[in-house]
Chain A
Amino acid sequence: MLFFSYFKDLVGREVTVELKNDLAIRGTLHSVDQYLNIKLENTRVVDQDKYPHMLSVRNCFIRGSVVRYVQLPPEGVDIELLHDATRREARGG
């Protein structure tokens, strides 16, 4: 549940989601669920010329199982907080 909670805190931030098929999409994180499915708003594809069919897609749902990386804004990462949360989770509380 740690990463689910973590991503929930990032809602509203600008992120880049890189998929296993190398497609990279930048957009505002709208929501995330338990499977780490992601909904993005105001999306744009990083390599637009290679994926012309994505031109008119503004909002999208990405299946969690196809995500390779999520690139976050640096200010969205609090190492201390993550560290603590990880230890807490590992202890089972």
Chain B
Amino acid sequence: MSWAGPEDIYLSTSLASYLDKKLLVLLRDGRKLMGTLRSFDQFANAVLEGACERVIVGDLYCDIPLGLYVIRGENVVLIGELDLEREELPEHMTRVSTEEIKRAQKAEREASDLKGTMRKRMEFLDFD
């Protein structure tokens, strides 16, 4: 295997054209990481510098700083190049503190758990 030259990295499927760019990495568990791509390989294992997790709950969001992250490729769903010219998120969304987003996350989880138990109890009604 030979190294891609500087002119063909933009034509290939390799992540080389994303090196040193600010990216959004979607993981299989639904998490969204943002950071600068510093290294990668053929499995999409990736090293993100200055990584942070973007937590979104309804119209609230928060970026939790993580530091340097090495991501195992099998967990990667998508790597997107962030267009810094565009608004990152819709206008109606508000940035909140880490504590606040954790509280919102907990409330959302509890609400969906409750929905699950209600559904389970109502199962005898046999609706879909």
Contact = CB atoms under 8 A, between A and B. Distances in A.
Contact of A53 (B13, B15, B32): B32
Interface string B82-112: 1110111110010000000000000000000
B56 interface: yes
Interface residues of A, number: 27
A21 B12 contact: no
A55 B89 contact: yes
Nearest to B15: A61
B26 to A, nearest CB: 8
A58 B81 contact: yes
B89 A58 contact: no
A50 B26 CA distance: 14
Contacts of A23: 26, 77-78
A60 B73 CA distance: 15
A52 interface: yes
Interface in B19-47: 24, 26, 28, 30, 32, 42, 44
A10 interface: no
B30 A21 contact: yes
A55 B11 contact: no
A19 B30 CA distance: 12
Interface of A: 19, 21, 23, 25, 30-33, 35, 37-39, 43, 52-63, 65-66
| Closest 4 A/B residue pairs (Cβ) | A57-B80, A33-B13, A60-B80, A61-B79
21 contacts: A23-B26, A31-B12, A37-B44, A39-B13, A52-B56, A52-B90, A53-B24, A53-B56, A53-B89, A55-B87, A56-B24, A56-B89, A58-B83, A58-B86, A60-B80, A60-B81, A61-B80, A63-B77, A63-B78, A65-B74, A66-B78
